[in-house]
Structure 1
Amino acid sequence: MSFLKPFFLSVALVWPVCHESFALQNPTEKSPPNILFIAIDDLRPELGAYGADYVHSPNLDRLAQQSSLFHNHFVTVPTCGASRYNLLVGKLPQSTVEVGNMAAAQLISKKAEGERPVTFLERLRGNGYYTVGVGKISHHPDGYVYDYLEPKSDQIELPGSWDEMLFDAGKWGTAHNAFFGYADGSNRNTLKGQVKPYEAADVTDEGYPDGLTANLAIEKMKDLKEKGQPFFLGVGFFKPHLPFTAPKKYWDLYEESEIPLAPFAGIPESSSKASLLASGEFNQYALGEEKASLDAAMSDAYSRKVRHAYLAAVSYVDAQVGKVLDELEKQGLAENTIVVVWGDHGWHLGDQLVWGKHTLFDRALQSVLMIRRPGKSGEQITQIVSTTDIYPTILEFAGLPEEAGLDGESLVALMDEPQLPTWRNYAYSYYNRGVSLRTAQYRLTEYLRKEGKIIELYDFNKDPYQSKNVAGDQPQKVEQLMNLLEKGNTGLYQKEAGDK
């Protein structure tokens, strides 16, 4: 079913599979645009382009000036694998498998063609695009399914989606080791968590994995130019995901004492710890100087150190994005390439006492989205959009027919008219046995807990940092918004015993 827009009745057309066939049948038509899709792990909208003037992000800021910059983009699930699964299939979660990190591994990788959902990559590939993934696009960091301490397998996570799936694991040996890697070639997994959650090594960009990923993407771009075929190049960077590691030169961009702390570090009034999380991922890094807790905030000094580490990682990945964008220009590809930068979710940096994602608060759900279209000017878009909208947007960019059953709608019309009066202007998110609705002014969340349904309502006009649940004070507003929330309630928590 679809509740983000009316159910599509259109039937997908079968276009010629190869670019040469397209050219022969359409000799006068312009070649379809290339698509450069950059996924950045755990990137919340804390960049210069979003008003954070203390953040050094010149490359992303420059791209943002040329792009439709979405100020209110919300992911559907605040965890890596499930958010990426939602991006790839364009549907809201119907089961608890779809809100877990192994969604693609279970529902795509292990399924035969015809039994698995069709990713937008598979649609592009079947219609003349050459698809290449470099780094982390789906959940597993090199696109192959295997456990942290296992050798790389030959089980691809997204069968049918890629012509090539590439990764340079460098001195770390495997992608999982690289994902949690430190500059000396060690990693969190083999060291069993006996590491710090940050590192500032005096190394080149290639001293950490994202530098290798940028170089690999640059080399592949040269090959793609020679092919003369429309391409989709997905580039997935790790930082600023934990551990917050970056070459020292990016740490040196910041004066730690000037880095702002979380504007609200507490449990929201009339809420509870059950709506948050105990920062378990952060606390896995056992050599950190302090542990995060919902009982009290970490010290200001250590909070600033960790925020400094996160921002250094942001600046490091910003530099890698800049290298890729520069190569796009150098190769003469920019004039026919759409560029998308997407953060797979946000991250609490002490907000609501949380250090991590995995909540239904804006800090975990709001992330970066910018889309540059050749020949189009940059626009500031404040209406609410969802990651679920990206699949139909990419289809429209590629000139492909609408896909039946998708839950999002193309952003192209909104990009053309940022104040589009007919835009939906709300988004749904799911996690922690909760369903959440974000509108321009409110976030309404319904949790299904052992003690029954729990309702939380936050008014961003009066409370931009979600410090007070006002559901008890505004029952009429809750009732009004509940009708809309129920349209997005897929029943996933009623269908199964619990979140897996």
Structure 2
Amino acid sequence: MRSLFHVLLVALVIAFSFSCTEKAKAQTQPNILFIAVDDLRPELGCYGKAYVHSPHLDQLAAESSLFENHYVTVPTCGASRYNLITGLLPKSPGDLSNQASASNIANKPAGERPLTFIQELKQNGYYTVGIGKISHHPDGYVYGYRAPKSDKIELPGSWDEMLLDAGKWETGHNAFFGYADGTNRNDREKQVKPYEAADVEDEGYPDGLTANLAIKKLKQLKEKGKPFFMGVGFFKPHLPFTAPKKYWDLYNEEDIPLAPFAEIPENSSKASLQNSGELNQYKLGEEKPDLDSAASDAYARKLRHGYLAAVSYIDAQIGKILDELEEQGLAENTIVVVWGDHGWHLGDQKTWGKHTVFDNALQSVLLIKRPGEGGQRISQVVSTTDIYPTVMELTHVPSQSTLDGESMVSLMDNPAAKEWRNTAYSYFRRGVSLRTPQYRLTKYFREQSPAIELYDHQTDPYESENVAKEHPKVVKQLMPSWEKGNTGIFEE
């Protein structure tokens, strides 16, 4: 009997020790709150835009590593997010599609699809929750704009839970293009304006519901006692520029600045830009600006007003979530990342929208807050491709994947690090583009000339003149670096 008692006692001690070890591990491994914001270019107070009302993001930035020169790999939603979650540069034209995740992950058997960083975290003990638009589809399930929600998840293997409160809009796609009365762009056959300022509470548009859902989920995650990854994807400021009226009222439209350079760049080509088709499909827009006819100053300010109101609306929603993180006592062990999936031309280069390899479409917000670390500004060039390995190092999770980016942790530890790569590659419009601290060099694989464009940001920060012909030595000097990013994607 004593022997049996001894055995049971030893077993209980071992079990208790194991339980304590697991709890200690859960408490020391950092949580991650990852906030993805659609179409968020660096149009925030913390990025030097004093006219923008973004107090919550500005406060977060003061406590974070703020990347002043972060560039996405593809200037379109789905492909940029595919690059984010896989850490892979695009190798084929399909990797530039909004359906990249659906094609390469959802439609492939487990052994043939790339591992997302979310799946790697899940496989290493993290509880993973997605809310809203993290991959391309607004609720994480693959189905058409006007079809009922399917049960086909876009990122199989990544999520313990994939959630969206679609409210009165009923489906993710309806909510994504939703107006305050519960209708949406597609069901109204695009007979809508590209903006709206309804006198409603935050929950009168879908992103207010997303914030509330995230707050509710944080309370539940606290009780689980294991590290978590929570991705929260906000729709705005993606078109339509819809936000409660109180956020529009933060701005005096006459004071909103216009694009600093609103022409086609000298020595460039219309083929390098795009004709604002995404904006102009909103049929009730007062004007239809394109590369041949610019928007009037009044309409440009109206559109920019809508964009800024949507930014301020999202800023408020992020503020609510960050407040709840503090309220639940989770902030001291939670890494917070805010990432814009690409930029947006707001009349810059005579263009409205993304889908170019100019800075306005490629530069976006990146903030990373590490518990216990102070705020800093990092000026070196980084890429969305670098986020995957950074998350792995910050969480001390070994990656099974071969990645194209580099962890930014060493750069966050030493922003002046001379060994940092200091380049970013981007791909679109049959162009492969290299960004360095001073230059943007793009080579296009197309019939229209010029095939090569060079912009000197030291003298021309708004990319108003292609100087490739005037500076052939610079082009030659940059070409070896450009070649490192040429994956052969456009070569026949």
Using structure 1 for the length normalisation, give the TM-score.
0.93
Greater share of residues in helix:
2
SS at match of 2:119: helix
Shift in CA distance, 416/201, structure 1 to aligned 2, threshold 3 Å: same
Q: Which amino acid letter does the alignment assign opposite residue 240 of structure 1?
A: P
Q: Which amino acid letter does the alignment assign opposite residue 428 of structure 1?
A: Y
Instruction: Summarize the alignment of residues 431-470 of structure 1 with structure 2, pairs less than 5 Å apart.
Output: 431-451=428-448, 454-470=451-467
Structure 1 residue aligned with 2:290: 293
Match of 2:305 among 308, 319, 335: 308
- Unpaired runs of at least 5, structure 2: 1-16
**Does the 8 Å CA contact 2:269/2:449 hold for their aligned counterparts?**
no
**Does the 8 Å CA contact 2:23/2:225 hold for their aligned counterparts?**
no
SS at match of 2:112: coil
* Cα distance in 1, alignment partners of residues 422 and 114 from structure 2: 26
Q: Which amino acid letter does the alignment assign opposite residue 189 of structure 2?
A: K
Matched, 1:353 2:383: no
Matched, 1:488 2:485: yes
Structure 2 residue aligned with 1:197: 194
Shift in CA distance, 225/29, structure 1 to aligned 2, threshold 3 Å: closer
**Does the 8 Å CA contact 1:202/1:249 hold for their aligned counterparts?**
yes
Q: Which amino acid letter does the alignment assign opposite residue 189 of structure 1?
A: N
Q: CA deviation at 1:397?
A: 1.1
Structure 2 residue aligned with 1:272: 269
How many equivalent residue pairs?
A: 476
Matched, 1:377 2:374: yes
Structure 1 residue aligned with 2:41: 44
Q: CA deviation at 1:357?
A: 0.2
Structure 2 residue aligned with 1:187: 184
* Cα distance in 2, alignment partners of residues 451 and 218 from structure 1: 51
- Unpaired runs of at least 5, structure 1: 1-19, 496-500
**Does the 8 Å CA contact 1:392/1:403 hold for their aligned counterparts?**
no
Structure 2 residue aligned with 1:133: 130
Q: CA deviation at 1:27?
A: 5.6
Q: CA RMSD in A?
A: 1.4
Structure 2 residue aligned with 1:472: 469
SS at match of 1:72: strand
Match of 1:64 among 37, 61, 65: 61
* Cα distance in 2, alignment partners of residues 472 and 165 from structure 1: 51
Shift in CA distance, 398/257, structure 1 to aligned 2, threshold 3 Å: same
Structure 2 residue aligned with 1:325: 322
**Does the 8 Å CA contact 2:386/2:407 hold for their aligned counterparts?**
yes
Q: Which amino acid letter does the alignment assign opposite residue 232 of structure 1?
A: F
Matched, 1:145 2:117: no
Using structure 2 for the length normalisation, give the TM-score.
0.95
**Does the 8 Å CA contact 2:207/2:314 hold for their aligned counterparts?**
yes
* Cα distance in 2, alignment partners of residues 60 and 132 from structure 1: 22
* Cα distance in 1, alignment partners of residues 46 and 21 from structure 2: 43
Match of 2:29 among 26, 29, 32: 32
Structure 1 residue aligned with 2:152: 155
Matched, 1:92 2:83: no
Structure 1 residue aligned with 2:209: 212
Instruction: Summarize the alignment of residues 103-118 of structure 1 with structure 2, pairs less than 5 Å apart.
Output: 103-118=100-115
**Does the 8 Å CA contact 2:120/2:399 hold for their aligned counterparts?**
no
* Cα distance in 1, alignment partners of residues 354 and 372 from structure 2: 36
* Cα distance in 2, alignment partners of residues 178 and 28 from structure 1: 39
**Does the 8 Å CA contact 1:390/1:411 hold for their aligned counterparts?**
yes
**Does the 8 Å CA contact 1:86/1:92 hold for their aligned counterparts?**
yes
Structure 1 residue aligned with 2:4: none
**Does the 8 Å CA contact 1:22/1:128 hold for their aligned counterparts?**
no
Q: CA deviation at 1:75?
A: 0.1
**Does the 8 Å CA contact 2:125/2:227 hold for their aligned counterparts?**
yes
**Following superposition, which runs of at least 4 residues in structure 1 exceed 4 angstroms of deviation?**
20-23, 25-30
Q: CA deviation at 1:403?
A: 4.3
Query: What whole-Å deviation, never above 9, does each CA across 1:362-406 have from its counterpart, x for those lacking one?
Result: 000000000000100001000000000000000011101244420
SS at match of 1:71: strand
Structure 2 residue aligned with 1:498: none
SS at match of 1:157: coil
* Cα distance in 2, alignment partners of residues 50 and 434 from structure 1: 28
* Cα distance in 2, alignment partners of residues 102 and 29 from structure 1: 35
Shift in CA distance, 145/488, structure 1 to aligned 2, threshold 3 Å: same
Q: Which amino acid letter does the alignment assign opposite residue 485 of structure 1?
A: W
Q: CA deviation at 1:297?
A: 1.5
SS at match of 1:222: helix
* Cα distance in 1, alignment partners of residues 159 and 274 from structure 2: 36
Q: CA deviation at 1:272?
A: 0.9
Structure 1 residue aligned with 2:394: 397
Shift in CA distance, 21/173, structure 1 to aligned 2, threshold 3 Å: farther
Q: Rg: which structure is higher? A: 2
